[in-house]
Amino acid sequence: MILLHYTGMPKADAALELLRAQGSEVSAHYFVFEDGRIIQMVRESNRAWHAGRAYWAGEADINSCSIGIEIANPGHDHGYPDFPKRQIAAVTTLCRSIQTRNTIPSVRVLAHSDVAPSRKMDPGEKFPWRTLHDSGVGHWVKPSPIMNFGQTLSPGDRGDPVAAMQRSLREYGYGIEASGEYDTTTRDVVAAFQRHFRPERVDGIADPSTRGTLQELLATRGGPRNIAARARTATLLVAP
């Protein structure tokens, strides 16, 4: 997979220095500056230390199956500025190149927050996943609109609808059990999901828009083949 990060430090140079320092115990394959310059620090075939304790789709050793890209941005603790266009263009080109050379499916271009939802927020809700998707990088669907009706699931809720939502999140890849209890882990996973796929409101509450977006992602994640199957199903449903 490709895992995207932000550096979370006020100055890019200091972040780069940390990633290159002996003994810092953090590293990444690539570093992308605000102006779009890219530095490779680790060979793609080698393991870098960027994911930490994490999980995705049955895999807990994310460092061993991912290429990490650090994107220079001060992050939520330091004002969280927008990602400059030139930087996003560089990240997109880099991802396309990595994707092609390593045959990485679009559903496996992810945020650090997707694989470590209770610990990480990066690259965050300002990261333009849609722009990347428009250039053929990553899986994305237009978020279901936020509306004031339909069933909302919130922290503290329990029961079958909560379990069903947890199962859907797990099916997509998130590290969550279908306990039927909307606990703090569930809130964190829902917030991580929103940062990536429904960034308009990141609150950890599973409103109909969040759940609708999740279902649409599940329905489209297989690429064209799955979409064709879905179209056939739709035809069956309307057939007499």
CB 109 → Zn ion: shortest distance, Å? 14
CB 168 → Zn ion: shortest distance, Å? 25
CB 48 → Zn ion: shortest distance, Å? 12
Among 29, 108, 112, 187, binds Zn ion (CB under 5 A): 112
Instruction: Give me the active site residues, please.
Output: 70
Place of tokens 């990141």: 202
Stretch that binds Zn ion, among 5-13, 80-88, 124-132, 190-198 (CB under 5 A): 5-13
Stretch that binds Zn ion, among 119-127, 151-159, 179-187, 228-236 (CB under 5 A): 119-127
Q: Please report whether residue 122 would count as binding Zn ion according to CB under 5 A.
A: yes
Among 1, 4, 5, 212, binds Zn ion (CB under 5 A): 5
Stretch that binds Zn ion, among 32-40, 41-49, 73-81, 109-117 (CB under 5 A): 109-117
CB 112 → Zn ion: shortest distance, Å? 3
Nearer to Zn ion by Cβ, of 56 and 182: the residue is 56
Interaction site with Zn ion (CB under 5 A): 5, 112, 122
